Amino acid sequence: MRRIKIFDTTLRDGEQTPGVNLNHAEKLQIARQLAIMGIDVIEAGFPIASPGDFESVRAIAGEVEGPTIAGLARALPQDIQKAAEALQGGKNVRIHTFLATSPIHMKYKIRKGPDQILKMAVEAVRLAKSLCPEVEFSAEDATRSEWPFLAEVLSAVIEAGADVVNIPDTVGYTFPGEYSRLISYLKEHVIGIDNVEISVHCHNDLGMAVANSLAAVQVGATQIEGAINGLGERAGNAAIEEIVMALATRSDLFEAEFGVKTEHIYRTSRLVSTLSGVVIQPNKAIVGDNAFAHEAGIHQDGVLKEASTYEIMRPESIGLAQSKLVLGKHSGRHAIRAKLEELGYRLSPEEMEKAYQRFIAMADRKKEVSVRDLEALVEEGLSEIPETYKLDYLHVTTGDKTIPTATVRISHGQQVTEEAACANAGPVEAVFRAIERVVGLNLKLEEYNIKAVTGGQDALGEVTLKVRGNIKSYSGRGASTDIIEASARAYLQAINKLVAAS
């Protein structure tokens, strides 16, 4: 069977999702989880884009073992040198350089002719190869390029030393049949293509990213690029969890193997959602809350008799725990740690103690603590941002004939400040205004999402939100049986991220 490599660009293209802003610690945490999951290549960032990106790529290359670590670079000497510098010291590293080859990009963006593009591509690959043992070249906007010219460029970069050639559908323009024909054409017309990896990188503008990627595999592609949860520019990238489970579920069709450990998919998806602040839609394939849910009576009857009647995958295959009630307020630290390790979490002693204290507080409020409850409270504390501001006390007065009023007490180091505020829109707005008075910031709330983690009157509520400072947006997440408290926790987490980035 052929071996298909999985190239993850969550930390580069995925971070370009509007409103997503991962810090250094969060990127490192995601990279470590991707390594546990068995990803072949992690594109850790775009080193020349910012000092933060450079440091993240350098840290991931130096600390994360297993996958090949890639740094992105335009086909410019300064980009390539910066990428090589960031990757220096890593065991398995790759420079990923790119240059547009479509007429529209050459004319309007780069403003260079085909001969100049060909020369730039060759020079970029030669320089990258002199600085790094492995080089990938991407022909940006390949699916809108003229096929003979695209073949000429790829032949030239292979001769110059490229180990991987990527044929991206940069704007999500193509369809499976057309994309298959393009890959087949290149296999026939590109000199030396049988000696390199053929990679595909598809965007989802027309909802075809996963389908296009899989169509390319059927005609010879050996590497698929994508992002966890389909994060990325505009409508996003091909979702890695969907690609992997398609290859696994239809192994009879693809006759290909891969190195991803599917039982880590759910945990990785939740981690990326938590740290990125991008909520997973309930009907999202593979990892959505409804992916393994059955409501229709006919479906329920079938599943109870034989799961395969309506389930082509088992929840356990992606690491989705099925146990409901496993822990209570009398459970000790060892039991909590064992359950978290079973769910795929690896916490430091400090993180474990923090999670345990939150668990005890939750167990005092809830009769039953579910696996989902436990996951929610742990994920709230996953961000390694210091708690510059911490909620000590919250009191809210509201009613249909009362102006909502909130009082908060917040600690900032040794300083404790109490403020109150009113709001016409409701108690959550009053809480946010009171917090803003304490921290001295005037923020814009861009997104606010609320959902029940589990059912029942004592269900844990989970709030995710995004706030904008002067320049960037920052996400926050909070969980509590009191949804107003969860909102306050989420708002403070976003503020602490903003303060840490200042």
- Per-residue pLDDT of 458-501, as tens digits, reads 788 889 999 998 778 888 989 888 999 999 999 999 999 899 88
The arithmetic mean of pLDDT across residues 107-112, rounded, is: 97
Q: Alpha-carbon distance 224 to 5, whole Å?
A: 6
The fraction of the chain above a pLDDT of 70, given in percent, is 95
The arithmetic mean of pLDDT across residues 198-216, rounded, is: 98
The whole-number pLDDT of residue 324 equals 41
**Higher local confidence (pLDDT), 23 or 211:** 211
Q: Alpha-carbon distance 2 to 129, whole Å?
A: 27
The whole-number pLDDT of residue 295 equals 55
Q: Which of 203-217, 297-311, 442-456 has the highest mean pLDDT?
A: 203-217
Q: Which of 205-209, 385-389, 453-457 has the highest mean pLDDT?
A: 205-209
Mean pLDDT for all residues in the chain? 91
The whole-number pLDDT of residue 25 equals 87
Q: In which residue are the tokens 């580069």 written?
A: 12
The whole-number pLDDT of residue 147 equals 98
Cβ-contact 29, 59 below 8 angstroms: no
Q: Alpha-carbon distance 494 to 420, whole Å?
A: 20
The whole-number pLDDT of residue 342 equals 73
**Higher local confidence (pLDDT), 295 or 468:** 468
The whole-number pLDDT of residue 353 equals 86
The arithmetic mean of pLDDT across residues 298-302, rounded, is: 66
The arithmetic mean of pLDDT across residues 203-222, rounded, is: 98
- Residues 231-241 as b/e (b if ≥16 CB within 10 A, e otherwise) read bbbeebbbbbb
Task: Supply 21's token pair.
Answer: 């802003």
322: confidence class by pLDDT, cuts 50, 70, 90 = low
**Higher local confidence (pLDDT), 302 or 129:** 129
The whole-number pLDDT of residue 360 equals 83
The arithmetic mean of pLDDT across residues 16-26, rounded, is: 87
37: confidence class by pLDDT, cuts 50, 70, 90 = very high
The whole-number pLDDT of residue 352 equals 85
Other Cβ atoms less than 10 A from the Cβ of 399: the count is: 8
Least confident of 76-85, 148-157, 194-203, 291-300: 291-300
Q: Which of 12-21, 343-352, 410-419 has the highest mean pLDDT?
A: 410-419
Q: Alpha-carbon distance 281 to 321, whole Å?
A: 19
The fraction of the chain above a pLDDT of 90, given in percent, is 70
The whole-number pLDDT of residue 403 equals 95
Least confident of 30-34, 40-44, 245-249, 280-284: 280-284
Task: Give the global pTM.
Answer: 0.83
The arithmetic mean of pLDDT across residues 324-346, rounded, is: 71
The whole-number pLDDT of residue 325 equals 37
The arithmetic mean of pLDDT across residues 276-286, rounded, is: 91
Grouping H, G, I as helix, E, B as strand and the rest as coil, residue 328 is coil
Half-sphere exposure of 311 (CA within 13 A, CB side): 20
The whole-number pLDDT of residue 323 equals 45
The yes-or-no verdict on residue 298 having pLDDT over 70 is no
Amino acid at 386: P
